[in-house]
Amino acid sequence: MSKSIENRVSLEQQAAKDEAFMRQAMALAAQAELQGEVPVGALLVKDDRVIATGYNLSICRHDASAHAEMECIRAAGQLVENYRLLDTTLYVTLEPCAMCAGAMVHARIGRLVYGADDLKTGAAGSVMDLVRNSAFNHQLEVTSGVLAGECGEQLSAFFRRRRQEKKALKMAEKKQGQ
């Protein structure tokens, strides 16, 4: 094989792996949703193996820091007994916020792969970029938009459903008040 074909094949293989891991992250996001949380899921991969997983638990835990990525980074740190998670890739269904992006830099994670952009709080390029900030001592490689449509739809379906539930509750309350 010529070098350029070889490169293309390995790029395609990486893209297929990224999609497969992102599907696993979406399944974790569904776990969060089952617990009434905003559906965001994350996992950490080293040498093509999942070493830690996490999903959003902020409401259940009464903890603003219990984002999917933080849960995942905490679990991985316990596992490897090191806060530095070198040569790992973090997959998450939604673009990380400033807190999670900061933790990824501290943990020296090598690569970030995320699904949907977060135009309101995204800190990997949308609102700001903390993961590729040259002022910091560590930058991550970033791949965005992996299964972006499906990841985004998982979130918008959740918020649609929640709005409908709130509306139904309001109408039921109104009826009772009559």
Q: Does 97 bind Zn ion (CB under 5 A)?
A: yes
Single out the segment in contact with Zn ion by CB under 5 A; choices: 91-99, 133-141, 143-151, 162-170.
91-99
* Residues numbered 19-38 forming contacts with Zn ion, rule: CB under 5 A: none
Positions marked catalytic: 69
Stated as kind and residue range, the H or E segment containing 101 is helix 98-106
Based on CB atoms, which residue is closest to Zn ion, 17 or 127?
A: 127
> How far is C-alpha 106 from the chain's CA centre?
17
Q: Does 100 bind Zn ion (CB under 5 A)?
A: yes
Based on CB atoms, which residue is closest to Zn ion, 99 or 127?
A: 99
State yes or no: 72 annotated in a binding site.
no
* Residues numbered 109-168 forming contacts with Zn ion, rule: CB under 5 A: none
Residues near Zn ion (CB under 5 A), total: 4
In this structure, what token pair is assigned to residue 154?
């998982």
Binding site for Zn ion (CB under 5 A): 67, 97, 99-100
